[in-house]
Amino acid sequence: MSADPRGEEKRTETATPLESGKKEEQESRGEENRTAWLTKNVVGISLTSLFSDMSHEMATAILPFFIIAIGGNPAIVGLIEGSADGASSGVKSYAGHLSDKMGKRTPIMYLGYFLTGILIPAIGFATSWVEVFILRVSSWMGRGARGPPRDALLSESVPAKSIGKAFGFQRAFDTLGAVVGVALALILIPHLPYSKIFFVSFAPGIVSVAIVLVLVKDIKKRASLEPKSFRSSISLLSRRFKLFLVAAGIFGVANFSNVLFTLRAEEVLQPSMGATEASDVAVLLYLVLNVVYALISYVAGFFADKIQKRYLLGLGYVFFAFACIASIFEVADLRVLALIFVLAGTSTGIVDPLEGSFAGELLQASERGAGYGVLQTVNGIGDFVSSTMIGTLWTLLSPALGFATVAAVALVASTLLLVLLRERRG
C-alpha cells in the first residue's frame, strides 16, 4: 500500500478471490440480460401475431379483387380500407386507456383477437360491397382494440434497453404470418373462388386466439396505477411524445393501405396479361412486399436500440415516398413493379417496429396504454384520410396524381420528425 497526498492509503489493483467471484457472477448476469428480452410474453405475442396475420393477410390479398368482382371500384376499395382503419382508430385510444385503468392488458387483447378471427372469414358470405364494408369495419374495430394493450404489454415484458429488439421480433413474426397467408392465397386462387379462400382463413385465425389465451399473461408485478380520467390521461402525455404524434399523424395521411399497390399492379398488368394472370402476379408482388417487410422488421428493431430512432423512422417515411414516386411512372414492367413493392415493404418494415419502440422510449410506464392508443388512433385517422383520398383521386382524376400527393405528404412528415424531435443542447 502507498499513501496519497491526502494521507489516504491506495489499494493495489490485485483482486481477491471473493472479488473475482463477484466479477464472474456479474458477467454471467450480463450474459443473461442480453437474452432476457426473449420472454414468454414476447414469444406468445409474436406467435399470436404470426397466425392472426396469416389469417387476415390471406383475406386481404384477395379483398380488392373480391370487391371489384361484386360491383365495387377503386374508390370503393379505398373507402372500405380507409373506413376500416378509421373505425379501428376510434376504439384504440380508449382501449389503451382502459387497459391502464384496469391494470390488465390481456382481457382486451383476447376479445380483439377473437373478433378479428371470426369476422374476417365471414366476408366470404358477402354478396355486395356494403356487406364487405360492414364486416371489414367491424373486424378492424377488434383489431384496433387489441393493438394498444398488446404494444404496452410487449414494452413492459422486456428491459428498457431491448424494446427495439422486442418490437422488431414481434413485427417480423407478424409479417412472416403475412408472407405465409399471401402465399396460401396465391396457391388457392387457381383452385377456389375468392369466397372460399375467406373461409380457409378461419383456421389460422382461431389458432391465434388459442395461442394468446394460453401463452400471453399480464405482468404480475406491474405497479398499480393511480386512476385517471380518459381526458387527463391524454393531456398528461409528455410534450415530446405529442410532437412525435404530429409527425406520425402527417405521415399517416400519406400511408395508405398496401392493398392499393396490389390493385394498381393488377390494373397495369391486365391489358397485356388478362385478368386472371394479372391478379396472380399482383398477389405475388404483394407476397414480395411482405417478405421484404419480414426481413427488414427485425433488422430495423435491432438497429433501433443502437442509434437514434427518429433518424431510422424518418428513413422509413422517405422509402414510402420513393415507392409512391415510382408508382407515378408505373408500367407493365416487372422490374419497375418489383422495385415499387420492395420499397413499400422496406418502408413498412422500418416504420412499424420503429413507431412502436420510439413511443415506448418516449412514454412512462404509467401512460403507455393511453400513449399507444393515441398513437394508433392518430395513425388510423391518417389511414382513413390517405386510403380514401388516393382512391378518390385515382377514380376521378388519375392514379399518378394520387401517388404524387401522398409522396409529397410523406416527405413533409419525414422533415417534421427530424426537426420537431431534434435533441436540444443544454
Cα 347 to chain centroid distance, Å, stands at 11
Cα 142 to chain centroid distance, Å, stands at 15
Weakest mean pLDDT among 92-96, 98-102, 362-366: 362-366
Residue 16 CB coordination number (10 Å): 8
Written as nine digits, the cell of 265 is 399492379
Q: At what angle do helices 309-328 and 239-254 cross, to 10 degrees?
A: 10
Provide the CB-side half-sphere exposure for 323 (13 A, CA). Answer: 28
Question: Which domains, ranges and CATH numbers included, belong to the chain?
Answer: 37-220+229-420 (1.20.1250.20)
Q: Please state, in angstroms and as integers, the Cα–Cα distance from residue 329 to each residue in 129, 148, 348, following that order.
A: 30, 37, 21
Give the residue-averaged pLDDT of 311-336.
Answer: 86
Give the residue-averaged pLDDT of 194-223.
Answer: 86
Question: What is the pLDDT of the chain when averaged over all its residues?
Answer: 79
Residue 231 CB coordination number (10 Å): 9
R_g over Cα of the chain = 24
pLDDT of 367 higher than 80: no
The residues pairing with 9 across neighbouring beta strands, listed in sequence order, are 3
Place of cell 388457392: 188
Three-state DSSP class for residue 365 = helix
Separation CA 162–CA 304 (nearest Å): 9
Highest mean pLDDT among 118-127, 287-296, 388-397: 118-127
Q: Taking CA 77 as the corner, what is the angle to CA 72 and CA 83, rounded to the nearest 5 degrees?
A: 125
Give the residue among 251, 244, 273, 290 at the shortest CA–CA distance from 413. 251
The pLDDT tens digits for 104-158 are 888 888 998 999 989 999 998 988 899 999 999 888 888 888 888 888 888 888 8
Percent of the chain residues topping a pLDDT of 90: 14
Q: What pLDDT is attached to residue 331?
A: 76
- Considering the entire predicted model, what is its pTM? 0.63
Instruction: Report the sign of the C-alpha dihedral through residues 354, 357, 361, 365, in that order.
Output: positive
Place of cell 422486442: 166
Separation CA 261–CA 385 (nearest Å): 16
pLDDT band at 2 (very low <50, low <70, confident <90, very high): very low
314 neighbors 414 (Cβ within 8 angstroms): yes
Residue 157 CB coordination number (10 Å): 25
pLDDT band at 26 (very low <50, low <70, confident <90, very high): very low
On the 0-12 / 13-18 / 19+ scale of CB atoms within 10 A, 329 is exposed
Written as nine digits, the cell of 291 is 417478405
Residue 161 DSSP label: G
